[in-house]
Structure 1
Amino acid sequence: MRPKAKYAVIHRHRGEYPISVMCKFFGVARSGYYCFKKRLGETDRDAVVAKEIEECQRRTDKTYGYRRVWKWLKGRNIQRDPKTVLRIMKKYGLLSEVRRRRQWVNLGQQVHKYENLLNRQFRAVRPNEKWVTDISYIHTKEGILYLSMIRDLYDNSIV
């Protein structure tokens, strides 16, 4: 659990239990709790920059990374460090959608060549005599899924 969440629980129950006991129980420093308590009333200083970043991402369909957003902000006379822009983008969920190169380009090149045992004789006389298989690649947002099935040539059932 993050310290910020622990401090929130301590703050919620500050009237019921002593603060020092709760800090010891949660394994956080008392000074950290009081620093958290001091910052409770403050407004978020990143909110103004986050609105500008959000406008930039809306205009560019979330294609700008933090470096280009930093340059865009610089053009609007908003001076921030590039890593600060990255931190704010992570904090508010404004990161760009990363387009990656396809990694499955060399799938047609086989490492091993196996000999053709069936020789186009796809009829089987008894069950479990001849099996065939194939692999399909299904592309999803999370990555590539592999679908492989084994078929018995006797009755075309999936094994």
Structure 2
Amino acid sequence: MCDVLKVSRAGFYRWLQGPQGPRQQANETLLSFLLARAQALGGIPGYRKLWLEASAAGYVCSKNRVQRLLQGAGYRSSVACRPGYRKLKPGMPVLPNLLNRAFSVAAPNRVWVSDITQIRCEEGWLYIAIILDLYSRQIVGWSAGGVNQAALVMAALRQAWGERKPQGEQLLFHSDQGSQYRSEEVMAWLTRRGVTLSMSRRGNCWDNACAESFFALLKKEWTHRLGVLSRAEMTAEVRYYAEEYYPILRRHGTLGGLTPRAFEATTA
């Protein structure tokens, strides 16, 4: 099981061989449950999801305790961000992380986050750029194409700006340090509109976790089951997910069980 979950044997057995007081016994029982659930779920869930699994099973424990136990056993989600750095491509200077993981926002059009992913298609990669409003997790703009350049981001930005019509001086736009976002075209376009720019720290995907999370859901819930399609077919599927299923039908725990569209309607 240690090999399957990429858990260090030393860490796991250190837990099993420690003093067997009541607290240690409770920790051992909880850890055994957590690792068993992680194995049953393919090693995918992180400590937050495993804490939910434990709570649903009747265990009384905090997220910090679950995290501490899993770290002590050397468990790491198979989809967790791995440390590592990529050489930056040429572009405008990197900007500081002003968002600083403040993912709870009090009003719409105050913080937009953006990211790019890729999906394999018959002709090659399809690149997808999205812009997500942190207030409601609504996708306010997106674009898809066969080339991963600044034009991809610009298409998503123009769509978002046209539909939402935000007050630029009240808006923070956060992205990673990709050359598309550091392009003169993108940065100048946003700056002219008074938008404040923010970028994740290098190699730290958690700084843009909400955008990353959307792409994880898109792939897990939708595109993985479709197989390899043409770019046109995959673009149509992404359009349905981003514009209909995700905002109108999919409920979010962070929004009190409402869909993004319904959540925004409560403040209209």
- TM-score, length-scaled by structure 2: 0.23
Structure ranking higher in helix proportion: 2
Q: TM-score, normalised to structure 1's length?
A: 0.37
